[in-house]
Amino acid sequence: MEEKVLFLGLLQGVTEFLPVSSSGHLGIAKLTLGVSDPSFSFDLALHLATLLAVLIYFLKDIAFLMAEWVCGFFNRNARAWAGWRFGWAVCAGVLVTAPIGMLLESFAAASATSLLWLGGSLWMTALLLLSSKFIRAGDGSVRTRDGFFVGAFQGLAVMPGISRSGSTMWAGLILGLSRDEAFRFSFLLSVPTIIGAALYEAVKAGGRESFVQSLPEGWIGGAAVAFFSGLISLALLRRIVASDKWWAFSIYNMIAGSAAAILYFMGG
């Protein structure tokens, strides 16, 4: 069991930031390996581990933008700064993401148990990424109203197989953001979202102690693997996005989605 925990941690870290849907890959891995556990609580623990990777990777950006946003409450001139707009855009995104995610929660949990759904969702992600090849990236910065649109796609990405990073970066490009700005906003928007989801699930589990007790043996090792592999994949994705080649992940998603569907029809 501990080996499977480590494997799932590695799978989460590698796929969390690349536009290939970590939840979809975890679902396929559990179904093909016959793993009923680790439970959803472990999936969330892995997301918290990769969240720590985001916080470390974007530490300078977070500190700078947060400082500008706070200054805006006390200084009118500061409201013209990028941090003021960015902060409110994140708030707007979370405001939209939360109700969509809660509305789809039960359906998402059921879908994670179907190889056919997971395969079809990976194909949806593939088509979304492929279409980004034809989107001309702008040079714009994040505005408050952008958060509502990107946040809606983040909410839809609660469905396993739909890549959160892929769909939110795609939404940013549609809005005319630069590639680097779309990348940065996609991941900074995930920070309060994952924290909120963790608190929500901890409450549902009966509190922090009950949540921790529901985690499998060796979960710390799995989380550590997810953290370090997540840092590597995050740095890799930024380079790929900057080179405008991230649409190529559509090919991988088509292959993975087709494989999941074949396994379903073979009775896997």
Residue 61 contacts residue 185 (beta carbons within 8 Å): no
Which residue shows structure tokens 């992600």? 125
Closest by alpha carbon to 50, among 242, 194, 156, 158? Answer: 194
Single pTM value for the model: 0.87
> Cβ of 108: how many Cβ atoms within 10 Å?
20
Joined tokens for residue 115: 């190889």
Whether the per-residue pLDDT at 95 is higher than 60: the answer is: yes
Using CA atoms, how far residue 98 sits from 34, 103, 190, 214, in Å, is 31, 9, 11, 24
Which residue type occupies 101? Answer: G
Residue 217 has pLDDT above 80, yes or no: no
Q: What is the pLDDT of residues 142-199, one digit of tens each?
A: 999 999 999 999 999 999 999 999 999 999 999 999 988 999 999 999 999 888 877 7
Predicted confidence (pLDDT) at residue 120 exceeds the cutoff of 90: yes
145 touches 39 (CB < 8 A): no
Lowest mean pLDDT among 5-9, 250-254, 255-259: 5-9
pLDDT of 211 reads: 65
pLDDT digits (tens, 9 = 90+) for 49-90: 888 998 999 999 999 999 999 999 999 999 999 899 999 999
Compute the distance between CA of residue 172 and CA of residue 12 in angstroms, rounded to an integer. Answer: 24
**Residue 74: CB atoms within 10 Å:** 7
| Closest to 118 in 3D by CA, of 15, 1, 237, 228 | 15
pLDDT classification of 208: cutoffs 50, 70, 90 = low
Does the pLDDT value for residue 38 go beyond 60?
no
**What are the tokens at 202?**
């901890």
For the chain, give the mean pLDDT.
86
Is residue 210 over pLDDT 70? no
Cis (ω within 30 of 0) for the bond into 38? yes
